[in-house]
Amino acid sequence: MPACEEKPLSAIKKLGIIAGSGVLPARLAAACLKQNIEPFVVAFKGHTDAQTVQNLPHAWVHQGAAGRAMKILRKNGISDLVMIGAMRRPSLSELRPDFKTLAFFTKIGLKALGDDGFLKALRRYLENEGFRLYGAHVFLPDLLMPEGTAGRHQPNAQDWQDIKRGVNVLQTTGHLDIGQAVIVQNGYVLGIEAAEGTDALILRCAALKRKGPGNGVLIKLCKPGQDRDIDLPTIGPQTIKNLIDCGFSGLAVHADHSLIADINNVIALADTGNIFVTGLVPETTGNENDEP
């Protein structure tokens, strides 16, 4: 079946929510209801939070059951989808793949793709099956981090040098589809995000901090060429709590291309913990040797 053509949002009456963990799938479902869109949640055993599907039409599947999930969506008349929420990428042996899932991996040649390559291949596969994929921010625009600093605290001069260093690093590693985040302290790269995820990166780098004028900054950006409907960088209250607990100065994220879960709580925690949260445009951030 060829990929579906795009249609105006006003024509969307039902939306399939492919739900990972965290609060964002439930927020998206609530936003759909306010917009007279009927949400249907595909929940994954071991990943999706049980409270996400309360009082909502839904189906539970295991991660390798792509065929069953697509059959359920079609049975409910759903062709428009959003993928949202954290989900650990399993190995093929963990998936227990059904025929459709195995066909997808066979189609991409069982290659060890990075996350971006994997998700692009997944999108092509779903579109060829007749589904349309949208970013969550299309239905929830207030999830996007705006440009500028949120809350009371601002990055200082050393923080900006670390931010610029981090942007340069991520613009290089992003082309290799390695990760979305890096932690820099006084110009020294403490760690780059790999398979462990951002929260584990923060905890890992806490033990690597050095003495100096800066406490270190987490920088999190979209990778060049990343599919911005499927895998936008996401932060939430737990990210802020980890930064505070580990003594870092703050967080810089990709403005208008990053999702902030529970932004009011994020700002309140950052203000109380004396750290900054700022949205930046990587293309205009400048060289790390420039003045902030």
Each residue's pLDDT tens digit, 25-51: 999 999 999 999 999 999 998 889 999
Same domain, 166 and 137: no
- For residue 255, what is the domain's CATH number? 3.40.140.80
Full domain range(s) for residue 58: 9-141
- For residue 95, what is the domain's CATH number? 3.40.50.20
What is the predicted pLDDT for the residue at 109?
52
Evaluate whether residue 132 is within a structural domain.
Answer: yes
Evaluate whether residue 106 is within a structural domain.
Answer: yes
Evaluate whether residue 291 is within a structural domain.
Answer: no
Evaluate whether residue 196 is within a structural domain.
Answer: yes
36: which DSSP letter? Answer: T
Q: Which of 141, 175, 202 represents a domain boundary (last residue)?
A: 141
Same domain, 43 and 173: no
CA-nearest of 254, 259, 76 to 166 is 254
Same domain, 132 and 152: no
Same domain, 136 and 148: no
Domain count of the chain? 2
What is the predicted pLDDT for the residue at 161?
96
Query: What are the φ and ψ backbone dihedral angles of 181, each rounded to 5 degrees?
Result: -135, 150
Same domain, 62 and 152: no
Q: Are strands 38-44 and 14-19 parallel, antiparallel or unpaired?
A: parallel
Judged on CB neighbours under 10 Å (0-12, 13-18, 19+), 137 is buried
Same domain, 152 and 247: yes
pTM here is: 0.82
What is the predicted pLDDT for the residue at 150?
92
CA-nearest of 153, 161, 184, 165 to 277 is 153
Helix (H, G, I), strand (E, B) or coil at 146: coil
What is the predicted pLDDT for the residue at 211?
86
* Amino acid found at 17: I
Same domain, 124 and 191: no
Q: Which of 141, 169, 186 represents a domain boundary (last residue)?
A: 141
- Beta bridge partners, 260, equal 235
What is the predicted pLDDT for the residue at 291?
47
Same domain, 160 and 115: no
Q: Which of 93, 108, 141 represents a domain boundary (last residue)?
A: 141
Same domain, 89 and 159: no
Q: Are 5 and 65 in contact (CB under 8 A)?
A: no
What is the predicted pLDDT for the residue at 3?
46
What is the predicted pLDDT for the residue at 46?
83
CB within 8 Å of 277: residues ≥ 6 apart: 149, 150, 151, 240, 250, 251, 253, 266, 267, 270
Evaluate whether residue 262 is within a structural domain.
Answer: yes
Same domain, 168 and 238: yes
Same domain, 154 and 42: no
User: How many alpha carbons lie under 13 Å from residue 64 in its C-beta half-sphere?
Assistant: 13
Evaluate whether residue 3 is within a structural domain.
Answer: no
d(CA 127, CA 138): 18
Evaluate whether residue 26 is within a structural domain.
Answer: yes
Same domain, 161 and 33: no
- Regions of the chain short of the pLDDT cut 70: 1-7, 88-118, 286-292
What is the predicted pLDDT for the residue at 240?
97
CA distances from 140 to 24, 29, 70, 287 (A): 10, 10, 24, 33
d(CA 105, CA 124): 12
Evaluate whether residue 4 is within a structural domain.
Answer: no
